[in-house]
Structure 1
Amino acid sequence: MTPTHLPGRVAIPSLPTVLDAFNSAPAHDARALLMDCLHSPRWVERLASHRPYPDVDSLLAASDEAAYDLTPADLAEALAAETLPVLPEGIYGAAHTALNAANAAYEAKFGHAFVICLDDLAPAEALDYVLHAIRSRLANDPDDERVLTAEELRRLAKGRLVRALRGAGNCATSPNGAAPGNKQAGPPH
């Protein structure tokens, strides 16, 4: 912690952020946090080994770059740990039945769980969005779906990383509450 010196004022130590804690954490702790974001040892190792990060935007850029560089085997390993997105409580049983049926068809065709990032979506819109997306993506050929799935995994990892760093009232996010590097655009179609 470096004190901030203001002319004619008492030096005030700067407060540590969650990013500071991540940067200085033992390697196994940093890797554990990252593994919760994306279950890819290659992605985890790359991010953990490049610490310290000067700011959250640098960490998020490194996360994106590492996700783009994952091999098909790395993606398969990360996908093996994924499950269907968690939907808001109170969704009625027929919707779960429809979602489970669509997911079973998806897994039969592509060999892995359907993944989608719901970060910029209102909870009330999640079920319709997921059902529409899974049904439309069932029409993809495996190569096109692999590209979309890799992008969704990258978005999931980035969102999880931001939430892990956000903490309660720390400086890892911008003052308006938006995550650095996360444009508040709607979900991709």
Structure 2
Amino acid sequence: MHLTPADFDALPEADAVALLLDCCASPTWARSVAAARPFGNREALLSAASAAAESLTGADLDDALAGHPRIGERSEHASSRREQAAVTTADAGTLERIAAGNGAYEEKFGHVYLVRAAGRSAGELLEILERRLANDPETERKEVRAALAEITRLRLERLVTEETA
């Protein structure tokens, strides 16, 4: 689905929130962005979405993380499948290392490893995972926020276009 900014602005609030939850699983974020309408143009929407993401509390961030599958695991979410497409063709050794890294990451940080997978190979995702496993919790939380912002922006850019496709 592609919407123009005007189409998005005209949606009933519940419909807008539902679409936004496909971009970021934080109900607080989705309600905040929907309530800030009308935007008039895509950049205003993206700016409001970014500001709302920066203001997420720890619990809100946890909600957003809960909406993401592990890297390398099959997801029911179409966006996640598309974004992780490179992992589906990865060799067994890389997939095993990613699975082991996912477990170590979750044990250390208490949540799923979140990274922008779109446009990255399985090897790159593994390399980033291994690097981030060395982070302290505060540094990793910053990386998670940055990754969430990237993912959310990409999904919003696919959802709201300047023209209908």
TM-score bin, normalised by smaller chain: 0.7 to 0.9
Which residue matches 1:46? Answer: 32
CA distance in 2, matches of 1:80, 1:106: 15
Deviations 1:103-128 (A, max 9, x none): 11101100111011134x3xxx4211
Which residue matches 1:118? Answer: 117
Show structure 2 runs of 5+ residues with no match: 72-83
Which residue matches 1:20? Answer: 6
Q: TM-score, normalised by structure 2?
A: 0.84
Which residue matches 1:58? Answer: 44
CA contact (8 A) 2:94 2:123 kept: no
Structure-to-structure mapping, 1:1-20, within 5 angstroms:
18-20=4-6
Answer with 1 or 2: which has the greater Rg: 1
Which residue matches 1:177? Answer: none
In the alignment, structure 1 residue 171 sits paired with structure 2 residue 157: no
CA distance in 2, matches of 1:151, 1:97: 26
Bigger helix share: 2
Q: How many residues align?
A: 150
Two-structure CA RMSD over aligned residues (Å): 1.7
CA distance in 2, matches of 1:49, 1:154: 19
CA distance in 2, matches of 1:50, 1:160: 18
Deviations 1:139-174 (A, max 9, x none): 0001110111011111111111111124xxx6279x
Which residue matches 2:107? Answer: 108
CA contact (8 A) 1:56 1:172 kept: no
CA contact (8 A) 2:21 2:30 kept: yes
Deviations 1:43-97 (A, max 9, x none): 1111100111111001001111100111111111111111134242322222211
Give the counterpart of 1:150 among 125, 145, 148.
145
Deviates more, 1:93-102 or 1:56-65: 93-102
Q: 2:30 aligns to what SS in structure 1?
A: helix
CA drift of 1:18 comes to 2.2
CA contact (8 A) 2:26 2:61 kept: yes
CA distance in 2, matches of 1:47, 1:172: 21
Q: TM-score, normalised by structure 1?
A: 0.74
Q: 1:37 aligns to what SS in structure 2?
A: coil
Deviates more, 1:63-72 or 1:84-93: 84-93
In the alignment, structure 1 residue 141 sits paired with structure 2 residue 153: no
Which residue matches 2:93? Answer: 94
Q: 2:51 aligns to what SS in structure 1?
A: helix
